[in-house]
Chains A and B, each alone.
Chain A
Amino acid sequence: MADKTDKKIEVRNLKKSFGDLEVLKDISAEVYKGEVVVVIGPSGSGKSTFLRCLNRLENVTSGTIIINGADITSRKVDINKTRENIGMVFQHFNLFNNLKILDNLTLAPTQLKKFSNEEAKAKAKIMLEKVGLADKADSYPSQLSGGQKQRVAIARALCMEPQIMLFDEPTSALDPEMVGEVLQVMKELAKDGMTMVIVTHEMGFAREVADRVIFMDGGYIVEEGTPEEVLLNPKEPRTIDFLNKVL
C-alpha cells in the first residue's frame, strides 16, 4: 500500500512539445512509494508521452520531474543511473531479438556491473520462475507468444531491481486470451509493494489494482482520485463521456 511519507515521483508543471504540437500542456502529479497509479484516457491524450518523460525517453520541454529526490530534467543528473532504478515495460515488448531469453535478462545487470555473471544468471532464473517461464530460458524471443514475451519483458525489468515500474499499455498488443496472464503478473507485483505507473485501457484491472486513477485528455490531467471516485463516480463531463464509451 502507498506510503504517503515517501514521494517516489513528483512531476511539476510538465510540458512537452513535438515541434509545434504541444502534447503535454501542464501536468503535475506525484506517486508515493508502493502506490499503483493507473493512467487512462483517449488515444492522443498524452498519457504515453507522460510515462516516457518519467525516465526521460522523451526530453521534457519545461517543468521538473523529481525521482527519489533528484530532478531528472537537470543535465547534471546521470540519466543512466536513474533509469537503473526505473523499470519500463513497452506495448510491443521490445525483447532483444538477437539474444536468448536468459541473456535478455542478464545483459543489462552484467553490462552495468550490477551483478556478476553467476549472480545475474541466478537472479534471472528466479525472475523467470516468478513469471512462470523458467522453461524458456534458452529460447529466442521469436519462439514465444505475445503474452510470454511481455512476461519476459517484465522479468527483464525486474532483474535490475528497480524501485519504480512503468507500464506503457502492456496488454494493448496482445491477443485477448493472453491479457490475463500478463495482468496476473502485474497484480502480484503490485501486491509485493512495487511502485507502479501503468498506462492501460483495462478498466477492470484499474478498478481492482489501482490505488489512484488519473484521467488525461488533451495534454491535461482532467480528473484523479481513487478508482471508486474516478471510474464509478466521475465528476468531469469529459471523464463521464470517455467512460461511457469504453465501459
Chain B
Amino acid sequence: MIKIISVYGTLLLTALGRTLLLALLGLFFACFIGLFFGIMGVLKNRVCNVIAQIFVDVIRGVPMIVLAFFVYFGMPYFFNTIIGGFSVSLSALQAGTICLALNCGAYMAEIVRAGILSVDIGQMEAARSLGMTYGMSMRKVVLPQAIKTMIPTFINQFIITLKDTSILSVIGFPELVNSAKNVQANTFMSFQTWAIVGVMYLVVITILSRSAKVLERRLNVGR
C-alpha cells in the first residue's frame, strides 16, 4: 500500500485531476445542452417538444460505453471513410467530453424540464400580464425559481457524471480508472490499487455532496 502511494501517488493524483477536468468539461457543455432541450420540452410548440423528447430518448436508450465507441471510433470513420474527403480525428479527451456532455445533457434536459414545470404557472402568467415577453419572463421569473428546485438533482447528476468518466477509460483517456489499470499491471497489487482508487472517488464525491447541502441551504434563504 505504502509502496503504491509513494511510487504511483503523483500519477494517480494527476489521473484524478484529469477525471475532474473531464467531468467539469462534460458538465459545462451538458448545462447548455440540458437548458436548450429542457426549454424546448416546455415550449408551447409540438415540434420542439417532440425534438427534445427524441433527443432525450435516444441518448438515454443507449449505454454510455456504446456512445463512447460510437463517438470515438464511429464518427471519424463516418466522416473520413463513409462520406469521405474529411480527415476528422478526435482525441480521447474531445470524444470523452462530447460523450459525457450528450449523456449528461439528456438527463439535465429532463431535470430542467421538471424544474420549470414545478414553478406555478401563475408566475409566468403574472409576468406575461405585465407585458413581459416569454423570454424575459422565463429568464427573470421562472428560471431563477426553477434552478433552486433543480440544485439537489443537479448535484446528484454531477456526481453521476463524475463516476461515469470511468467508463471513458475504454477509449484510452488516462483518467483515474485507466491509470489505475496500469498501476495494477505494474505492481500486481490489485486489492491495494483499487482500494486506493475507491477511496479517492469517495473523498471527492463526499466533499461534493456535502458542499451541495450547504449551497442548498444558503439558496433557500428568503424563500
> Given contacts A96-B141, A98-B141, A98-B145, are A57 and B127 in contact (CB under 8 A)?
no
Report how far A95 CA is from B129 CA in the complex, Å: 12
Report how far A80 CA is from B144 CA in the complex, Å: 22
> Given contacts A111-B140, A140-B223, are A88 and B129 in contact (CB under 8 A)?
yes
Report how far A156 CA is from B141 CA in the complex, Å: 14
- Selected from A80, A92, A142, the residue in CB contact (under 8 A) with B122 is A92
> Given contacts A94-B122, A98-B145, are A108 and B127 in contact (CB under 8 A)?
yes
Report how far A180 CA is from B165 CA in the complex, Å: 61
B88 beta carbon closer than 8 Å to chain A: no
Chain B residue nearest to A98 (CB atoms) is B144
Number of A-B pairs, beta carbon distance below 8 Å: 71
Whether B120 lies near A94 (C-beta < 8 A) is yes
A244 beta carbon closer than 8 Å to chain B: no
In chain A between 66 and 98, which residues have their CB closer than 8 angstroms to a CB of chain B?
A: 80-84, 86-88, 90, 92, 94-98
Distance to closest chain A CB from B142 (angstroms): 9
Whether A83 lies near B128 (C-beta < 8 A) is yes
Whether A157 lies near B122 (C-beta < 8 A) is no
A residues in contact with B144, CB < 8 Å: 98
A203 beta carbon closer than 8 Å to chain B: no
With most chain B CB atoms within 10 A of its CB, the pick from A90, A92, A94 is A94
> Given contacts A97-B145, A98-B141, A111-B136, are A90 and B125 in contact (CB under 8 A)?
yes
Distance to closest chain A CB from B144 (angstroms): 4
Q: Mark B118-159, 1 if CB is under 8 A from A, else 0.
A: 001011011111111100100011001100100000000000
Whether B130 lies near A157 (C-beta < 8 A) is yes
> Given contacts A111-B136, A112-B132, A142-B223, are A96 and B122 in contact (CB under 8 A)?
no
A206 beta carbon closer than 8 Å to chain B: no
Whether A90 lies near B133 (C-beta < 8 A) is no
In chain A between 33 and 71, which residues have their CB closer than 8 angstroms to a CB of chain B?
A: 55, 57
Report how far A8 CA is from B163 CA in the complex, Å: 62
B residues in contact with A31, CB < 8 Å: none
Whether A90 lies near B126 (C-beta < 8 A) is yes
> Given contacts A111-B136, A140-B223, are A86 and B145 in contact (CB under 8 A)?
no
Report how far A95 CA is from B125 CA in the complex, Å: 11
B residues in contact with A157, CB < 8 Å: 129-130
A160 beta carbon closer than 8 Å to chain B: yes
Report how far A108 CA is from B139 CA in the complex, Å: 12
A133 beta carbon closer than 8 Å to chain B: no
- Selected from B123, B131, B145, the residue in CB contact (under 8 A) with A112 is B131
Whether B130 lies near A156 (C-beta < 8 A) is yes
B residues in contact with A222, CB < 8 Å: none
A179 beta carbon closer than 8 Å to chain B: no
- Selected from A83, A99, A142, the residue in CB contact (under 8 A) with B130 is A83
A residues in contact with B131, CB < 8 Å: 80-84, 108, 112, 160
* A-B contacts besides A96-B123, A107-B141, A140-B222, 6 pairs, CB < 8 Å: A57-B129, A82-B131, A83-B130, A94-B120, A96-B140, A112-B132
Residues in A lying within 8 Å of B, measured CB to CB: 55, 57, 80-84, 86-88, 90, 92, 94-99, 107-108, 111-112, 140, 142, 153, 156-157, 160
Can you give 26 contacting A-B residue pairs, CB < 8 Å? A55-B129, A80-B131, A80-B133, A82-B131, A83-B129, A83-B130, A86-B129, A88-B126, A94-B120, A94-B122, A94-B126, A96-B126, A96-B140, A96-B141, A97-B145, A107-B127, A108-B127, A111-B136, A111-B140, A112-B131, A140-B223, A142-B222, A142-B223, A153-B126, A157-B130, A160-B131
